[in-house]
Amino acid sequence: MKLDVSLRQEVYRADAFKIIQWLNDEEVTRYLNEDKNASRNIEKVINTVNMPILTHLFNNNSSFYIIKNDDSSIGFVRLIQKGSDAEIVIAIGEKDLWGLGAGKAAILESLKQAFFNWRVNSVVAKIRVENTRSRNAFKGIGFRETKKLDKEIKYSLTINEFLKMVA
C-alpha cells in the first residue's frame, strides 16, 4: 500500500467523530497520556457546538493536526511549543496502517512544521518504555535517546541533525 501522508490543521466534525472512536479504542490509547474522559468531552462539545470546523477546540496550548492519507483522516499530531523547543505527540488511529510507515511519515511532516515554520531548536518525544513501535519509528528517523525515566524515554532531534538528514 502506497501512503500519501500529510498534515491538516483544520479539524472538521467528521474528524472529531473519528478522534472519539480512536480515543475509545484501548489499543490506540494504550500509550497516550490523554485524559480518560477526553472522548466524552469531545462528544459533549460536538453536541453543543454547531460548527463545521472545530480546530480551535483542539488547539489547547498546542497546535493540533489531523494526519491524512490521501483524503482519509488516519490519526493526529499535537505539537507543543516549550520555549525554543517543541514536544511531539502522535497517534495513528487507523490500526490497519500500523507498521506501514504512516507514523514515520507523519513525524517527518511534523518536524518540517516545527523546524521550518516554528523555528524551534529541537523536537522532543517522550515515549513509554513498552511502546517499541513508536520508539523504533523515532529512532529510525534519527531521534536519539536523551533521558531514560522509569516509565518513559525522552528522545530528541535538533534542527542541525534534521538538516543533515534531509540534505
pLDDT string in tens for the chain (167-residue length): 678 999 999 999 899 999 999 999 999 988 887 666 777 878 887 777 777 777 877 877 789 999 999 989 999 999 999 999 999 999 999 999 999 999 999 999 999 999 999 999 999 999 999 999 999 999 999 999 999 999 999 999 999 999 998 87
The domain 5-166 belongs to what CATH superfamily?
Gcn5-related N-acetyltransferase (GNAT) (3.40.630.30)
- 8 A C-beta contact, residue 133 and residue 99: yes
Bridge partners, residue 8, by sequence? 66
- 8 A C-beta contact, residue 120 and residue 114: yes
Bridge partners, residue 128, by sequence? 152
| Sign of the dihedral through C-alpha 135, 21, 19, 24 | negative
pLDDT, tens digit, 9 for 90 and up, residues 40-88: 878 887 777 777 777 877 877 789 999 999 989 999 999 999 999 999 9
Helices then strands, each counted (H, E), the chain = 7, 7
Helix (H, G, I), strand (E, B) or coil at 35: coil
pLDDT of residue 35: 65
Residue 11 DSSP label: -
The domain limits of the chain are: 5-166
pLDDT of residue 113: 95
